[in-house]
A and B are shown apart, each in its own frame.
Chain A
Amino acid sequence: QVQLQESGPGLVKPSETLSLTCTVSGVSMSSYYWSWIRQSPWKGLEWIGYIYYSGRTDYNPSLKSRVTMSLDMSKNQFSLKLSSVTAADTAVYYCVSGVPYFDFWGQGTLVTVSS
């Protein structure tokens, strides 16, 4: 059974960089695509991007200029960095397996952008 767990700061200051890590268990990371999705009351569910085990990435064009994803297969982890955050980036962030639909989800972590 695939299990995913997000970790990272729950509070980020405006203009700083949001950094989250997802730890994967129960499956080889070379088996899936790995995505980040966020959910907020004002935008609903929003796909941020994915990374494949080869290192290939693809990002939502609306966030592309601020997003970087990376992968550490030795630790069974993948990561998200979102730069220059504003209050509009406040959301629950999920790490997810699968593309183009999403079959396994982490529990989600709330990230609040506030000074």
Chain B
Amino acid sequence: EIVMTQSPATLSVSPGERATLSCRASQSIGTNLAWYQQKPGQAPRVLIYGASSRATGIPARFSGSGSGTEFTLTISSLQSADFAVYYCQQYDNWPPCSFGQGTRLEIK
């Protein structure tokens, strides 16, 4: 099974600043990666698929990049609604897919 490792576990950023979240795969997955946002008490919501394609209705301040084993989710100009937990998911070696353990983005 492919292991997904996210860093950092917690990221403290001020509103209006940029946040950069990382996800590393234990083996190459091409661009078969998605990013999700989860707020307390809610289900995850897909933000990015194919490593860099925004899902329907996702603001342009969310962007994804990377391929192979290294991936990044960037949130430019953080808004209060963006403070949440973010997960990456690989779907290259399917089944099963696998998720990272999450990065908590908190207000600095």
Report the minimum CB–CB distance from B105 to chain A (whole Å).
17
Interface residues of A, dominant DSSP: loop
Q: How many residues of A contact B (CB 8 A)?
A: 20
**Is A101 a contact partner of B34 (Cβ separation < 8 A)?**
yes
Tell me, yes or no, whether B59 is within 8 Å of chain A by CB: no
Taking CB atoms, residues of chain B closer than 8 Å to A61 are: 95-96
Taking CB atoms, residues of chain A closer than 8 Å to B34 are: 101-102
Out of A44, A98, A100, A108, name the residue touching B43 (CB < 8 Å). A108
- Report if A44-B97 is in contact (Cβ < 8 Å); known contacts: A100-B32, A102-B46: no
- Report if A105-B43 is in contact (Cβ < 8 Å); known contacts: A44-B102, A45-B87, A100-B91: yes
Interface residues of B, dominant DSSP: loop
Report the minimum CB–CB distance from B73 to chain A (whole Å).
14
Out of B91, B95, B100, B101, name the residue touching A60 (CB < 8 Å). B95
Which range holds the interface residue count of chain B?
20 to 34
**Is B99 a contact partner of A59 (Cβ separation < 8 A)?**
no
Taking CB atoms, residues of chain A closer than 8 Å to B16 are: none
Taking CB atoms, residues of chain A closer than 8 Å to B56 are: 103
Taking CB atoms, residues of chain A closer than 8 Å to B42 are: 107
Inter-chain CA distance A102–B96, complex, in Å, is: 13
**Is A47 a contact partner of B101 (Cβ separation < 8 A)?**
no
- Report if A101-B49 is in contact (Cβ < 8 Å); known contacts: A44-B102, A60-B95: yes
**Is B91 a contact partner of A101 (Cβ separation < 8 A)?**
yes
Inter-chain CA distance A49–B36, complex, in Å, is: 19
Report the minimum CB–CB distance from A80 to chain B (whole Å).
15
Inter-chain CA distance A59–B96, complex, in Å, is: 8
Out of B55, B95, B97, B101, name the residue touching A103 (CB < 8 Å). B55
Taking CB atoms, residues of chain A closer than 8 Å to B98 are: 47
